[in-house]
Chains A and B, each alone.
Chain A
Amino acid sequence: MSTLERARPSEPHMPVSPQLAMRVAVLGAIAMALFAVILFRLWFLQVLTGEQYVLQANANHERDLPIAAPRGEILDRAGQPLVSSRTTNAVQIIPSALPGEGAPRRALYRRLGRLLGLSAGGIQALVEHGQTTLRYAPVTIKTDAGPEVLTVLAERQNEYPGVVQQPVSIRSYRYGEMAAQVLGYVGQVSKAELKMRAFAGVQQGTVVGQEGLEYYYDRYLRGKAGVERVEVNAAGYPVKSRLAPTVPQAGHSLRVTLDLGLQKASEQALLQGMEHARASGRPANAGAFLAMDPRTGQILSLGSWPSFDPNKFAKPLTKGQFERLQGNSIEGGPLTDRAVNGTYPTGSTFKPITAMGALESGVLDPGAGLGAGSCISVSTQQFCNAGHADYGAVSLVDALRVSSDTYFFEVGELANSHGNVIQRKAEELGIGHKTGIDLPSEITGIVPDSRWRAKQNAVELQCEHRTHRASCGIVGEIRPWSVGDNMHLAVGQGDLVTSPLQMAVAYSTLANAYMNSGEGTVVTPHLGLEVDDSAGGLVQALSPPPARHVHLNYSDLSLVMEGIHNAASMQGGTSFDVWQGWDQGQHPVYGKTGTAQREPKEDQSWYMCYVGDPRRPIVIAVTVEQGGWGAETAAPIARLIASKWFGKPSKFVVGSSKTL
């Protein structure tokens, strides 16, 4: 063995020529050089810059997907749900798992479209839009597809690659069109909204409030989205994740001041009143109501017609559908909340405000008889009562009862020489300013005076110069403030622009001052009552302080209140017959009809009232566009609302007074 071992040659037998040795050495050197290059490069990639590639690799396969937080409920003042969230199965598409672009994908869209009742192009548009807003997230194609469809999708998964179903939470508005403008609706947060401070911290794709209370109280309702960190493979398919998700925090619930029973009854009353007006040949195509606690500004019911179903916003609307809801006229469409954003003259419901202004500035002697005859003339103009009625010379209380226009024309004429006494009182009581209601928008309104007139003239002139047009339509004609303007304002006509909400605030101020011997508060009307957490614990009580306190002369105020109480309770009062059978002793009604002239349209019916009660007083505002006389359409609606509030038998009594 050892001999054999020794016999082994230690080196190859073939003598290696110097040339071969040199060339093999070159080959070896090349090999060494190549390995050196590779090792150097690997050192650079892995050791020197490795961390950067770890980040890139993680960015490749980790995706943060938001888990939507359940949105808080909206409850009425007694805690009955008005808006809640409901879980349903949504059909979703995972874009990365779809078959290839072109024919196979189009075929899938067509198959899916047939199943869901959608067009293939529509599905494609949804997928493309979804991918631009939130990459990697599944795109919802249809919510509430129904059990049959979901069964088909589950059983034939191979025929629908990339189509999945996922439980999603959607908003449910239990009463459909009821109070739709107040409650608002929800939708995916838009690019513009993401930049707003109100939506700070909201992630793309989150569903947020877009209108009404849903928008105003969104920061309480929306909760905090959770995060699911999913791992995806190169094709974008999510793979089983080992990363724990952050649990979403449910939104708080919002209790509002609305009274569900009163809200339902008010909606019903408005519809009934409008229907009655239409039966008597009025167009009566739109209207609004509002009931409020005059002491606190808590809104008990608020509605606007035409209305819409906010549930429809759960699915994406087409452009045409949305434009129809918005409406193209100045009056707006179903989305417009006429109680808050309606821009109306008020007609005679303004007269108590005129009276307060004139009385408190000493312009008017309440006992003096004014307004004799059916018309009064100022320079060349005639100012007449409706139907050229002649109430004779009457005192203030009677003038309010019968709603004598000639009386208030004279008041307006008298007041004009004393400056803006009517205007100042109107603004003091809450007209012509934003009320501060907790809704996303409300009108400012206009209480016209000579200054306002001059400014409008200047703006019109500037516009005409700039655009080289004959008229910009800002004012009818360029002329200075005249006594006629003040006389029109005195009866709630002319350039006066306000909303049922502002009128309700003004009447509330009169009412709570009347309860408090002249010490009144201009309340901040509000809908939010309190914010509760999902377990029901109080998070925050919402009671905005009043805008300001006002002191009204109690004897002047008493006269005005007597006048409008007589109007509702005494023979000859404009809404006397509407309130027939009402127990005025238990619940005295202080009500004023109004018929606002809005040519070329038909007159707008108005009714404003305060119904007294030691525990639950109420101020009600009702207006119906093109609804005719105030006593004919608006006042009966107000009575129905009051009946519901005080638990009286509801009685629809049409008034016969034909006063403006």
Chain B
Amino acid sequence: MPLSPIKPTEEPPVAPPRSVRMPLDPLLTLAVLGLAACSIVTLGAATRNLIPGQPGYYVNRQLIYLIVGIIAMVILSRIDYARLRQLKNGIYALLLLSILAVLGLGHAARGSQRAINLPFFSFQASELGKVLLTVAIAAFVVDRARRLRDRDTTVRVMIAALVPAMFVIAQPDLGSGMVYMVVAFTMLFVAGTAWRHLASLLALVAVSLTFILVAAPAVGVHVLKPYQVARLTAFLHPSSNPETEGYQQQESKIAIGSGQKFGRGANSSQTRLNFVPEDHTDFVFAAVGEQYGFVGAAIVLALYALLIWRTLGVLVMSKDLFGSLIAAGIAAMLMFQVFVNVGMTIGIMPITGVTLPLMSYGGSSVITTLLAVGLLQSIYVQARASASLKGRVLRY
């Protein structure tokens, strides 16, 4: 009979220093979990009748996307984002390739090719592209940190964003294309590009918008598809064609308005009976407004405010410019998407197909946003670590 194995001595595990066990940014995490909970609760009521006999179809999937995204966020927070700087060319190439792949073999979904259909998941490259572009552009800007005031830098950075943006707009996904441009612009702004350049860029946007919407159609060139133009201009005169472009926005306004102070709860006919199209994706805020009223909408907006405030906090505390720029890009992405999406549902912005981060149903959008938050967490963790450990790089 063999002797019983020697018992390993019960060594008390050496507790790593508290600062090394650095958790995630608590408020940032709170904002993310809060929004995830809001998304599940809202979608639960809004999608119950969407697929007859499967009341939990959308909620279950959204829950899976959120869990996958949060796991990805935690993993990403444990990786030093600074390493991504070396991979900038690869990341940019991946961005272009994935977008082109969608254009090439993407399937047509509602008149657009925005996704690659995987067996379990329909992958929207333009969503992931928001994070990829943020990292790549941040790296480009850091590389030219000493020549930030050169016009050359501004032009190159904007072109680097414009190329994928044009491909994405061609899919056509106007909303994501606009996010790319706003992200790049904001990074230049935060990095310290001359006011002069920024002003010229804004002027250029104004001129090209005039050209695309007014001048070009007048001579018969349609840069945007007719439905895009119609959506973009519908919010300016909502009653002119309430049956088509204006319809969505009109129904969305009715939904939100009818929520009044405290919401209609189970009586939310606009979203329960599908009067608001896409009330689980782009128009999810209409479902929030109708079901939970001004109070519910204000809570969701407060969570976004917290998320953006913490993003700006991470921007400021970052150990290096690269991290700050990534945070700036993500802040721009969140601000733009929240404002454009909510503005669209309450009738003060055009319909552009921008999702509401974390709230809208959809794996690509949810996971992309959580990856972005993961980057923020990584920046936060690295900043804390470098401060407490005097530059030692943490490994986990």
Q: List residues 28-49 of chain A with CB under 8 A from any CB of chain B.
A: 28, 30-31, 34-35, 37-39, 41-43, 45-47, 49
* Contact between chains at A7 and B270 (CB < 8 Å): no
**Nearest chain A residue, comparing its CB with the CB of B22:** A8
B343 within 8 A of A: yes
Q: Could you give 15 example pairs across A and B, Cβ below 8 Å?
A: A7-B17, A12-B319, A13-B383, A27-B312, A27-B332, A27-B335, A31-B305, A31-B309, A38-B339, A45-B289, A45-B346, A50-B260, A54-B260, A61-B273, A239-B273
* Contact between chains at A47 and B261 (CB < 8 Å): yes
B152 within 8 A of A: no
Contact of B298 among A16, A23, A27, A39 (CB under 8 A): A39
* Contact between chains at B273 and A234 (CB < 8 Å): yes
Contacts of A31 in B (CB 8 A): 305, 308-309, 312, 331, 335
**Nearest chain B residue, comparing its CB with the CB of A233:** B273
Contact of A4 among B18, B335, B387 (CB under 8 A): B18
Contacts of A14 in B (CB 8 A): 317-320, 324, 383
A477 within 8 A of B: no
* Contact between chains at A61 and B275 (CB < 8 Å): yes
A12–B293 alpha-carbon span in the complex (Å): 39
A132 within 8 A of B: no
A60 within 8 A of B: yes
* Contact between chains at A20 and B190 (CB < 8 Å): yes
A642–B192 alpha-carbon span in the complex (Å): 116
Contacts of B255 in A (CB 8 A): 53, 57
A16–B253 alpha-carbon span in the complex (Å): 43
A462–B8 alpha-carbon span in the complex (Å): 132
A52 within 8 A of B: yes
* Contact between chains at B273 and A45 (CB < 8 Å): no
* Contact between chains at A42 and B19 (CB < 8 Å): no
Interface residues on chain A, size class: 35 or more
Contacts of B19 in A (CB 8 A): 4, 7-8
Contacts of B189 in A (CB 8 A): 23, 26-27
Contacts of A47 in B (CB 8 A): 260-261, 294
Give me the interface of A with B, judged by CB distance under 8 Å: 1, 4-5, 7-9, 11-14, 16, 19-21, 23-24, 26-28, 30-31, 34-35, 37-39, 41-43, 45-47, 49-54, 56-58, 60-61, 231-235, 239
**Nearest chain A residue, comparing its CB with the CB of B339:** A34
**Nearest chain A residue, comparing its CB with the CB of B334:** A31
Given A42-B301, A51-B260, 5 more pairs with CB closer than 8 A? A5-B18, A9-B387, A12-B387, A50-B257, A57-B254
A92–B255 alpha-carbon span in the complex (Å): 32
Minimum CB–CB distance for A237 against chain B, Å:
9
Question: With A45-B346, A234-B275 in contact, do A9 and B388 touch (Cβ < 8 Å)?
Answer: yes
**Nearest chain B residue, comparing its CB with the CB of A55:** B258
Q: Which 8 A-B pairs have the closest CB atoms?
A: A53-B257, A12-B317, A50-B260, A233-B273, A9-B387, A57-B258, A61-B269, A53-B258
**Nearest chain A residue, comparing its CB with the CB of B261:** A47
B229 within 8 A of A: no
Convert B312-328 into 0s and 1s, putting 1 for each residue whose CB lies closer than 8 angstroms to a CB of A. 10011111100010001
Question: With A4-B18, A60-B275 in contact, do A42 and B298 touch (Cβ < 8 Å)?
Answer: yes
Contacts of A19 in B (CB 8 A): 192
Contacts of A20 in B (CB 8 A): 190, 192, 316, 324
Question: With A24-B190, A35-B301 in contact, do A57 and B17 touch (Cβ < 8 Å)?
Answer: no
Q: List residues 18-66 of chain B with CB under 8 A from any CB of chain A.
A: 18-19, 49
A24–B335 alpha-carbon span in the complex (Å): 13
* Contact between chains at B348 and A28 (CB < 8 Å): no
Convert B286-318 into 0s and 1s, putting 1 for each residue whose CB lies closer than 8 angstroms to a CB of A. 000110011001100100110011001001111
B79 within 8 A of A: no
Question: With A14-B320, A41-B346 in contact, do A27 and B328 touch (Cβ < 8 Å)?
Answer: yes
* Contact between chains at B293 and A46 (CB < 8 Å): yes
A43–B257 alpha-carbon span in the complex (Å): 9
* Contact between chains at B257 and A49 (CB < 8 Å): yes
A231–B44 alpha-carbon span in the complex (Å): 21
* Contact between chains at A46 and B294 (CB < 8 Å): yes
Contacts of B383 in A (CB 8 A): 12-14
* Contact between chains at A28 and B387 (CB < 8 Å): no
Convert B254-287 into 0s and 1s, putting 1 for each residue whose CB lies closer than 8 angstroms to a CB of A. 1111111100100001100111010000000000
* Contact between chains at A46 and B260 (CB < 8 Å): yes
A39–B300 alpha-carbon span in the complex (Å): 11
**Nearest chain B residue, comparing its CB with the CB of A34:** B339
Contacts of B269 in A (CB 8 A): 57-58, 60-61, 231
A30–B297 alpha-carbon span in the complex (Å): 20
* Contact between chains at B192 and A23 (CB < 8 Å): yes
Minimum CB–CB distance for B227 against chain A, Å:
18
A27–B264 alpha-carbon span in the complex (Å): 35
* Contact between chains at A30 and B335 (CB < 8 Å): yes
B377 within 8 A of A: no
A299–B192 alpha-carbon span in the complex (Å): 105
**Nearest chain B residue, comparing its CB with the CB of A17:** B192
* Contact between chains at B318 and A24 (CB < 8 Å): no
Contacts of A58 in B (CB 8 A): 269
Question: With A46-B294, A60-B270 in contact, do A41 and B261 touch (Cβ < 8 Å)?
Answer: no
B186 within 8 A of A: yes
B342 within 8 A of A: yes
Contacts of B259 in A (CB 8 A): 46, 50
Contact of A38 among B257, B301, B316, B320 (CB under 8 A): B301
A19–B145 alpha-carbon span in the complex (Å): 14
Contacts of A34 in B (CB 8 A): 335, 338-339
Minimum CB–CB distance for B367 against chain A, Å:
24
B153 within 8 A of A: no
A43–B316 alpha-carbon span in the complex (Å): 33
Contacts of A43 in B (CB 8 A): 294
**Nearest chain A residue, comparing its CB with the CB of B186:** A27
Minimum CB–CB distance for A236 against chain B, Å:
10
Contacts of A42 in B (CB 8 A): 256, 289, 294, 297-298, 301, 346
Contacts of A26 in B (CB 8 A): 189
**Nearest chain A residue, comparing its CB with the CB of B257:** A53
Contacts of A35 in B (CB 8 A): 301, 304-305
Minimum CB–CB distance for A70 against chain B, Å:
32
Minimum CB–CB distance for A370 against chain B, Å:
86
Question: With A14-B317, A20-B192 in contact, do A39 and B301 touch (Cβ < 8 Å)?
Answer: yes
Minimum CB–CB distance for B215 against chain A, Å:
29
Question: With A27-B312, A41-B346, A42-B289 in contact, do A231 and B273 touch (Cβ < 8 Å)?
Answer: yes
